[in-house]
A and B are shown apart, each in its own frame.
Chain A
Amino acid sequence: MEYSNPELPEGINISKENPLKEFIILTVGLLALVFVVISILIVVVDNFADKIPFEMEKELPVSSFIENMEVEKLPPYLDKVSQKILASFDLPEKMKITFHYVNEDTVNAFATLGGHIVLYRGLLEKLKYEDELAMVVAHEIAHIKYRHPILSVSHGIVVGVVLTAISSSTGNSIVNDMVGQTGMASLMRFSRDYEYQADKDAISSLIKIYGHADGALGLFDVFNSEFGDDLSFEFLTTHPLTENRISQTTKMIEHYNLSPGRDMVIIPSEFKAWLKTQKENAEVNE
């Protein structure tokens, strides 16, 4: 028997294809898959979430977290403005809205399950005009009107289920991170649509009450000076970029043929003074 020791041909184990091609096909495929599956499920779930009676939201454990926050009743001025806006909405009788005030520096306001709307001192301090305050309140009421909190919670559950299903099958943390980000991005698309929808209703409400929508533009200016420097892509955020919200507002203003630059109602100095004492109290408590 003769033994020979030839050189093996090169490249038996090496794919001739550039790995970048494989990378692009797989990545795009996975992202599209996640995006499509989540979007379809969300549309399906929306049909059911809509049917959950509003009263049942109060029973959900999520809404009890409001009670655990240090919320207070609205002071008279805030209450007066909020009730005025609420009246302009003609909500169904069963849709009861409860306003809360929180003495914290957070520049935010939100609406959540069970018809709760929370206003933070931090945001109120930044406002100069009642119109801007009205925009904030109207925007949050609109969220509740369209049942956005319960829809968002349902979406969160759908995305959670899909992501868990995928991540448990890959076991690769890098891919899981990417899938998670895509899931969030597809969620945020809906979230941004809700913001536009709420803005739209809020602007209509402003026009009904004040005859113009400058309060919306004023509020967005506040956002710009507050959060304007953040570098971000819209597809990665829950809220639309302020400039896009401004452009939607401007379009609506043009649509209703309203002239901008009308007089806005200044927030009374007594309320400003009250906010100041609140801030001082908060600092003392710290």
Chain B
Amino acid sequence: MYDLIIFIVMLALGYGFGRYAESRHYRTIIKREKQLNSIPAIASKIPPFRRQDLNSQLVAGNVVISVDFFKRFIAGLRNIFGGRITSYETLLDRARREAILRMKEEAKKLNAELIFNIKLETSSIYKGRGNSIGSVEVLAYGTALFPH
């Protein structure tokens, strides 16, 4: 009985706070992406141009986002029925974009013109009870080119 009440409360809290945090996060992501659009981040291993007036340096951005109770629950149900785990799709989308943004913010401090050879790494850093994924880490890194 009390288990059931606690469970419903946890789901409601997870849903409420999760949705709020997600929409707020997306708003800042979109805003910052526009601001930092002037620094392209490209995957190519070789810089697209060779100029003597540029230095290069490693830049990185890292983020850890926790999965809320509601998302985790839906993903668990998807383990049985299969299909898109939409609740994790948005989570990873946010984490990836946030990591790139933090990397670009680093680059901006250097006054960089471009980041090339960017790489992304994803890992689940916490295995909760029953091996359920608790939070996800995304690391983005690349080489920034900036004037002397």
Contact = CB atoms under 8 A, between A and B. Distances in A.
Interface string B84-96: 1011011011000
Contact of A170 (B40, B80, B93): B80
B34 A174 contact: no
A29 B83 CA distance: 14
Contact of A30 (B30, B40, B75, B80): B80
A181 B4 contact: yes
Given A7-B34, A7-B37, A176-B130, A170 B70 contact: no
A166 B84 CA distance: 20
Q: Which one of B7, B77, B80 has the greatest number of beta carbons of chain A within 10 Å?
A: B77
Nearest to A237: B1
A162 to B, nearest CB: 13
Contacts of A12: 93
A174 to B, nearest CB: 5
A177 B33 contact: no
A44 interface: no
A174 B76 contact: yes
B4 A172 contact: no
Contacts of B130: 171-173, 176
Given A19-B15, A236-B1, A236-B4, A26 B81 contact: yes
Contact of B77 (A171, A175, A231, A232): A175
Contacts of B92: 13
A13 B90 contact: yes
A286 B48 CA distance: 86
Interface in B53-74: 69-74
Contacts of A166: 80
Contacts of B124: none
Interface in A12-36: 12-15, 17, 19-20, 22-23, 26-27, 29-30
Interface in B1-57: 1, 3-4, 7, 15, 19, 30, 33-34, 37, 40, 42, 48
Nearest to B84: A15
A29 B4 contact: no
A172 to B, nearest CB: 3
A233 interface: yes
B72 A172 contact: yes
Given A7-B34, A166-B80, A175-B80, A22 B132 contact: no
Q: Which one of B15, B69, B76 has the greatest number of beta carbons of chain A within 10 Å?
A: B76
A23 B74 contact: yes
Q: Which one of A29, A169, A170, A233 has the greatest number of beta carbons of chain B within 10 Å?
A: A170
Interface residues of B, number: 38
Nearest to A170: B79
Q: Report whether over half of chain B's contact residues are helix, strand or loop; otherwise say mixed.
A: helix
A170 B72 CA distance: 12
A17 B86 contact: yes
A13 B93 contact: yes
Interface in A103-157: none
Contacts of A233: 1
A171 B79 contact: yes
A215 B93 CA distance: 67
A172 B70 contact: no
Interface of B: 1, 3-4, 7, 15, 19, 30, 33-34, 37, 40, 42, 48, 69-81, 84, 86-87, 89-90, 92-93, 128-132
30 contacts: A1-B48, A3-B42, A7-B37, A13-B92, A19-B15, A19-B19, A19-B70, A19-B71, A19-B74, A19-B86, A22-B74, A23-B74, A23-B77, A26-B77, A26-B78, A30-B80, A166-B80, A169-B79, A169-B80, A170-B80, A172-B79, A172-B130, A173-B128, A173-B132, A174-B132, A175-B73, A175-B76, A175-B80, A177-B3, A236-B1
Given A1-B48, A232-B1, 13 more contacts: A5-B40, A7-B37, A13-B89, A13-B90, A19-B87, A20-B15, A22-B86, A26-B81, A30-B81, A173-B129, A175-B76, A175-B79, A231-B1
